[in-house]
Each structure stands twice: as C-alpha cells, then as structure tokens.
A and B are shown apart, each in its own frame.
Chain A
C-alpha cells in the first residue's frame, strides 16, 4: 500500500529534526575534556581529564549542589502529597468549580516562569518575607504539583472501580483499601511523578532567581558562570552533573509509565 512508505524527503527532514534536537547536548560532554579554558575553540586543541578533579576541589560548587538537592527533595515531597490529594479528588468526582481547579493546577507551568517568579517576588515584598530556602521551596512545590497530579490522575482513571468495591466487600475500611489496594496500584505512577518533579525542581532557574535572593542553587551557580565565566570547562563538568541528575529520573519515569496510554512527560 502506498501509505506504508514515507517519502524520502520527509524521512530525511524528520531524522534531521531529531538530530537537531540531540546533537547540541553532545558538545557539552566534549568541551568538558578540552585543554582550552578561555575560549570555546573548536576543535579542542587537546583533551584532558583534569577538569573533573578541579571541579571536585572547587569549594564554591558544593553548597549550591546541596541546596539544590535539598530544595528538590522537599519540593518533591510536598508536591507528591498535594498532587496525589488533588488527583484523588478530581479523578472521579464531579463538583462545582472542577474546571476552574484544573486550570489553577496547570497555571503555574502554563504561564511563563517569569510571571510565577515575579508574582512570588511581589508577594514576598508586600508581606515582608525575607528570602530563605523556604521561599525557594514555596515556588518549586507550586509548579511541581501539576507534574505529580498529571501522573497520578491518569493512573486513578485507569484504576478499575471494581477492585475498590471488592476490597470493601471483603471487609476492608477506607484506610485499609488505601494502604493495600490503591497505594500499590498508584505506586509506580507516583514514583514517576516524583522523579519528574525532582528533575524539574533540580534544574529550575527562572522562578528560582526571583525567590532565592542571595542564595545560590546549582542552576544559579551555572547561570553566573555563563555570564561571567572562569575556568569554562568546569562549567561543563557541572553541566554534565546537572544533565545526568535530571536525565536518569526522566528515563526511569518513562519506563515506569510507558505501558499506559497516558504518559509521564507529556505536558511539562
């Protein structure tokens, strides 16, 4: 049949498009090994492993890394709780204001990050709240809720109502049903949502610059290095760390949810 084979031009354009999406990232890896530390000369004049050691010994990298991990962990935990509650309520029930609520959940990632950031900044200023780790978490948890919600609500919808009734018929109360029936079924979706939320928070920079004040998360550290570079290859080493730290959870999330029709990443 005619439609089985793609026109050669379309195939080439599609593959070129995919390469366009992937090749740039590889350069980050290459430049981490270059011996040239002042410019972005290509091809690199020589290759070396020393920047990994230099990065390891730079004292200014560790505190931002710890802060990023802490913020991502706490924000993910908060988002897991709030997102799951939301999903549980929205999955089946129809109630007044349901559409408005779903809009409200999506809004923090639908509007550009700068609006979320500037809004929080205004609120902190109006209420005289000083910048702290807490203010960063406040922002991150807000836009992570939707990630967990998306994953959880998809799983709730696929969860057959029959097994909940069966559980009740067998004498379980609501909490036992939650513990032994809902949670095991929800588990991988929550894990996937949590992974994605963690990756999103660990990497977030736009909202964070408005809510961090003088504090520095790893992306903010990277941003400063991009604007005022010193030892450029060290930035590449950190970029690799950031890339891997976000990439692995995303891959795991993909494999956890790939069986379903609703997928984890759609609609960041």
Chain B
C-alpha cells in the first residue's frame, strides 16, 4: 500500500529533502549567521590581535607590519601601567559598590514583591538598564556640576560642609564632584547597577524559604541567617553580576571622559591612541588587556559556579 502524496513542486521536494536529511536544513540555517559572526567578529578580533603585535616607527609614525612584542613592552612603562592599575581599581570599587546597593533591591524583589509590585520592580530595574546610555551619563553631568542640584540640595539642608569635606579627600576628591574620581565612580555605579541586580535577583529567587525558616528555628538571628545562609547561596549571582560591572567599567571610555579628572582609563587610552595619536598597535595592545583580565576573571567565576546563575 503506498500512501505517498503527489509532489506539488519545488517546495515539497525541498521539504522532503529536509525531512530525510535534517543536517542539510541545519547547515542552511546556521551558515549565514555563522559566516557573519565568524568573518566579521572573529576576523576582527584576529585583526586586533595581529595589530597589537605590530609596532609604530617612532620617527615617521608609520605602522611597521612586522611581528614584535615591543608594543606590549610599552604597556609596562609607568605612565601606561598606571592607567591599567587605575582602571582595575575603579572596576573593583564599582563592582563592590554595585553589589552593596543592588542587594536590598534584588532581595526585596525576589522575596517580598508580589503581584503588581513584582511587575513594578521588574520594569523598574529593566527600564534603566535599557534606556539610553548617553542620556544617563548626561543626567549625571547635570547632577554633579558645581552649580547643579547636588550642591544645591547639600546647601539647602545645611550639609554643604559634608560635600566640601568629601571633595577635599586626597586622591579621590577634586574641584567639584563632576571633576573627581568620586563622580566617575558614582556614574559608573549608576549606569551598571541593573546588570548587578538582575543576576543577583535570579539567584536569590532560588533560595528556598524553608532554609530560612530552618535557620530561624535553629536559633539564628537575622544577621546570622544572612551571613551563613543567604549570602553563600546568593554568591553565584553576585559573581555573575560582577562579571558585567567589572567588564563594562573596564571597557568604558565615555564616562571618565565626561565626568572625572584628566587621569586616563584603559578605554580612553585605546580611543585616543587609535584616533588623534594614530598609534593603532598600542591601542590594540591596550584593548587586549581587558580581554586577558576578563578571561582570567571568567575562569575564576566559572570555578565558583557563577554560570548557573546566568
């Protein structure tokens, strides 16, 4: 008994082929995106790596296309190495600050927010994440300006001296908040905070209520429960969030350019070297630094089990 239907055209023929050989369909589906990402993205990364092993002729300013590690050696010069250290410290400070501020929001959203409030929190975290990056940075320029709202508010409540005291702190203070490291830190913190909240919330949502009850039944104070039950269970989420905050801070060049001192960060060095300075090899070598740091960071994070929380 034959139950085959008549073939009505090319569409049927192809469908038949795809049915008999699913691999063909899969290959056809995957080829265009794979080609795009492989050629455009991986190709570019390879070009970056290649460029970083070139060097620049100091007299003519022309890129010498020969393999050398001279450019990488230049990263170790004190003025360049300072940039890397400064960037690392800032990334660490931003990550720490974000973890502390994110926790109450994530914990409340994961544990207590129900129904309508759940949606409010969800949207309230997601909208700032997605809204325009430049607009957010610009808003902070308005806030931190010497004549801006923060100074006005501090003086209004008679706390002007606190602001002055903060600004006179050596090293991180400055003329106004918009020209100090504190200002840079605040803006980084603001812009990347949602990236910390979301994975944190995801991991906190998985903490079983029964464990908290058990902890209380066994006589733990809320502080003890927090320290020995909640925090360890939330740690993968914290680490996952820290991957974002750390990596994003390290690669940013716009925030320190608009709010902060004249001291440069890695991103700014890359941008200036490839642009006005025309030193593509050194710019590329600088760009490889965050990649290497993030690879190390990711390896450590993977060992800590952070990827289960993503």
Contacts and interface: CB of A to CB of B under 8 A. Distances in A.
Given A114-B253, A206-B253, A265-B129, A122 B51 contact: yes
A107 to B, nearest CB: 7
Interface string B266-282: 01001100100000100
Contacts of A13: 104-105, 108
Interface in B103-162: 104-105, 107-109, 111-112, 121-143, 145, 147-149, 151-152
A108 B121 contact: no
B136 A111 contact: no
B50 A196 contact: no
A235 B139 CA distance: 11
A31 B247 contact: no
Contact of A88 (B19, B29, B109, B130): B29
A204 to B, nearest CB: 8
B126 A175 contact: no
B218 interface: no
Nearest to B22: A93
Nearest to A12: B104
B34 interface: yes
A18 interface: yes
A24 B253 CA distance: 21
Given A42-B149, A203-B134, A226-B258, A10 B107 contact: yes
Nearest to A232: B142
B15 interface: yes
Given A125-B280, A174-B11, A112 B131 contact: no
A232 to B, nearest CB: 9
A199 interface: yes
A89 B29 contact: yes
A97 B105 CA distance: 38
Interface in A143-196: 145, 171, 173-176, 196
Interface residues of A, number: 91
Contacts of B142: 27-28, 31, 40, 42
A14 B121 CA distance: 9
Query: Interface majority SS on B: helix, strand, loop or mixed?
Result: helix
Given A40-B141, A114-B287, A115-B287, A21 B36 contact: no
B284 A122 contact: yes
B170 interface: no
Interface residues of B, number: 99
Given A122-B51, A145-B36, A227-B257, A21 B124 contact: yes
Nearest to A229: B141
A2 to B, nearest CB: 8
A42 B271 contact: no
Interface stretch (B37-45, B75-83, B231-239): B37-45
A47 interface: no
Give the residue among A17, A83, A93, A104 with the most B Cβ atoms within 10 A.
Answer: A17
A21 B25 CA distance: 46
B47 A126 contact: yes
Nearest to A95: B26
A104 B41 contact: yes
Given A111-B294, A171-B5, 5 more contacts: A5-B112, A20-B190, A25-B139, A28-B142, A114-B271
20 contacts: A17-B104, A18-B124, A22-B124, A31-B142, A40-B145, A83-B33, A85-B29, A104-B37, A111-B291, A111-B294, A114-B270, A116-B41, A118-B48, A118-B283, A122-B44, A123-B48, A176-B11, A226-B258, A246-B132, A250-B127
Interface of B: 5, 8, 11-12, 14-16, 18-19, 22, 25-26, 29-30, 32-34, 36-38, 40-45, 47-48, 50-51, 101-102, 104-105, 107-109, 111-112, 121-143, 145, 147-149, 151-152, 190, 193-195, 198, 209, 212-213, 216, 222, 247-248, 250-254, 257-258, 267, 270-271, 274, 280, 283-284, 287, 290-291, 294, 310
Interface of A: 2-3, 5-7, 10-11, 13-14, 17-18, 20-22, 24-25, 27-28, 31, 39-43, 81-83, 85-86, 88-89, 93, 95, 101, 104-105, 107-108, 110-116, 118-123, 125-127, 138, 141-142, 145, 171, 173-176, 196, 199-200, 203, 205-206, 209-210, 219, 222-223, 226-227, 235-236, 239, 242-243, 246-247, 250-251, 254, 263, 265-268
